[in-house]
Structure 1
Amino acid sequence: MFRHSIRILLVGLCTLTAASQAATAAALAVPAEPHTAAPADQALRQQTLSDLATTMKGEAFAYASYSLFGAQADREAHPAVGKLFRATAKTELNEHLKQAATLVGVVGTNAANLRQSINGETYEHQVMYRRFADQARKDGDLEAANLFTEIAADEGRHRDAYRTALTVVTTGRGTVPAPPKADTVAVPAGLPKVKAALTKANLDTAMHGEALAHAKYMLFAARARQTGNPTLARLFEGTAGVELHEHFASEAVLAGLVRTTKDNLRKAITGERNEANNLYPGFAKRATAVGDTAAARYFRDTAADEAKHAAAFQQSLNQLH
C-alpha cells in the first residue's frame, strides 16, 4: 500500500493487542515538521527523497516478513532464532524506518495525515486492487483475484472512515469512527499458491504496500496521541492491524513468503547483505554528492546495522546445520 502515496509525497509491520499497538505507536513517534534532520536552509533533493522512500518500503517489508519468520521459527522449536527475527524486525521498524520518515517529513498534522491516508486508500480501492484482481482472474489465479477484490472493498471502508475522521478533525463536529478489527490470518510455511508471473509480482507490490501502510498508520497514531486525540490514534492503529495481520498475511500465504526457518534465514541474509554492501552505500554516495549530509550519514549507519543483522542471521543458520 502507498507506493502511490510516496509519489504524492515526493511531489506535494502474531496479533497486536490495543496496548501493544499503542506502545509501538509511541516508539515510532516522529516530529511533525518536514525534513527535521536535514540542514535548516536546504530541503532534501528529490533523488534523496526517492531513495528514502525505497528505504521505507524495504524496512517496513522487512519488519512484516521477519515477524512471520519469527513465528515460523517458534513453530519449528527454534526459539533463539524466533527471538532474533523479532528483535531485528523491531530495529527495522522502530529505528530504520522511523529515522527515514523523520528525514522525509512523513508525519504532518492529523488533518494532513488523514488526507494522505485517504489518497492512498482511494487509489487502492478504485485502481490498484481492482486491476490486480482483473489480471489474476484473466490468468486463472482465482484465489488471488478473490483476495484482491476483498481487500479493495476493505480499503474503501478505510477511506470512508478516514473521511469521516477528517471532518471531525477539521470541524470539531461528529465522532471519529471506531477502529476496524483485524481478522488475523496465520501464515504457515508453504509454496506459492499462484501460478502467473504477473500475479506473483502484484502480490509482491501489494505486500510491500500493506507493510508500509501499517508502518505509516502507526506513525500517524503516535502523532494523534501526542496531540491529545486518542480516538483518532485508535482508528489509525486498528486500520494498521488490518493492513498487517489480515491483508499482508493473506497475501503472504498466496505468495509463499514463509518457508522453513533455514530458508527464511538464507533469504534474510541475502537481503541484509545486499542492503549493507550495495543498496545503502549507493544511496549514501548519491546523497553525499548533492550535499544531503544527514541523509548520507543515515544511509551509512543503516548499512552498518544491516551488515550486523546479516552476520547474526548467518551465525544462527550455521548453528542449525
Structure 2
Amino acid sequence: MSQRHPIIAVTGSSGAGTTTVMKSFAHIFRREGLRAQVIEGDAFHRYNRVEMRERVRAADAREGPPISHFGPESNLLAELDQTFATYAESGGGQVRRYIHDAAEAAELGGAPGTFTDWSPMAAGSDLLFYEGLHGGYVGEDGVDVARHVDLLVGVVPIINLEWIQKLHRDQHLRGYSQEAVVETILRRMPDYVNHICPQFSRTHVNFQRVPTVDTSNPFIAKDIPSADESMVVIRFANPKGIDFPYLLSMLHDSWMSRPNNIVVPGGKMGLAMQLIFTPMILRLMDQKRRSP
C-alpha cells in the first residue's frame, strides 16, 4: 500500500459484472478529475491465445499439467506483484495490453489473441486501477499481490448465475457448443476454488449478485436474469465509517441483512457503487495530497 501512489483493484472472474464496476469507477474518475492508470488482468496472461489452446489440449490429452486462466501456471503473477510494488513506490512501471478482438487489433496493432509490447506507464497518474482475476491473489510461492492494494473490490455472482453468463457468452458470442463450455467450467473448477475464491476474503468490499428467479439448473437457462430480476448483496470487511442510514435512504428498497451487509435491487448496483466508492476514493486522494 502507498499513500503517494494508491492502487485500486477489482477482482472477479470474466462475466461476473466487473464491467459495471469499471463504468462506475470511470464515472467517479471523470467527475473528480482524476487520471487513472488502467491495467487489465488479461495483460498478465503468460500465453497468447494460440499457445494457451495448445497447453489446454495437451492437458486434456494428459500430455501436460492441468491449466486454466484462473491458476498461477498460466499467469505472470510474480510480474503483477512487482508491477504493483513499482507503482506504489514510484507511480510508474511497465504495462502492455492483451488484444481481444478485431476492433482492438485495429486500434493497437497486432493480431487478436496476442499482446502489445511492454511500454512505460503514462507519467502523472493519480492512481492505478486494475481489473482482472488476481487483484487479491496471495500464493504459496511468496507472491502477494493483495498487500499492495489500497482498495480491493470483489465482484462475484452466485455460482449458478456465473455459469449461466458464461454459457450464454461463449455460445452466442464465441460460437462454442454447450459441451465445450461445460468442459471449460469443469477444467477451471479446481483453480477457481483454490485461487479465485480465497481472494473474496481479502477484499474491502464485495458485490454479489443473486437472482430472484429460478436458476437451479443453469445448463438449461434460456436467458440471463436481468438486473431487475436480481438483488445485490454488498459486504464491507470493516463497516466502521460506512454511513448505512445514508445508503438506505438513497437506495430505495434496500435493507441491511447483517451489521456489515446491505442488500440493494440489482438495478441500483451502479448507483450503489458510486455512493460507496466516491468518499473512499476522495479519502485516498486526500491522503495522497498529505503524504510527504
TM-score bucket of the superposed structures, by smaller chain: under 0.3
TM-score by length of 1: 0.23
As a proportion of its length, which structure holds more strand? 2
So what's the TM-score if we normalise by structure 2?
0.25
Between structures 1 and 2, the one with greater helix share: 1
